[in-house]
Amino acid sequence: MRITETRKLFTESCEYPTDAAAVTDAFGDVEIEAPTGDTTTVETVLARSNETTYRSADAVYTAMMSNVDETFIGRKYYDDRGDNQPHPNRSWQ
């Protein structure tokens, strides 16, 4: 499952507020696929969160997005706003 699809899963399958253990029991084994093709589980990601209660599906989704590992990051160090790195052949004085 793509991580963006978890919001719908959390919205349609839980009543809120709910505790973190209930979310883990219900969805802990759901595999989330990173853009790299690697997978992890909802339980692994939410285990990194300090939340004990979720007030809404958006709160669970936010916790997921806030706690994924670097395999979910697109192009690391990419800046689409221009070349902000010094040119390797230029010396700045």
Residue 89 lies in a domain: no
- Domain with 12 in it: 3-72
CA distance 88 to 40: 38
* pLDDT (tens place) for every residue of the chain, 93 residues total: 998 899 999 999 999 999 999 999 999 999 999 988 999 999 999 999 999 999 999 999 999 999 999 888 877 767 677 665 555 565 555
Residue 33 lies in a domain: yes
Count of CA atoms in the C-beta half-sphere (13 A) of 29: 2
How many CB atoms neighbour CB 61 within 10 A? 19
Residue 27 lies in a domain: yes
Name, in order, each residue with C-beta under 8 angstroms of 77's C-beta and a sequence gap of 6 or more.
Answer: none
CB 31 within 8 A of CB 1: yes
pTM of the complete model: 0.77
Structural domains counted in the chain? 1
3-state secondary structure 5-27: HHHHHHHHHCCCCEEHHHHHHHH
Residue 83 lies in a domain: no
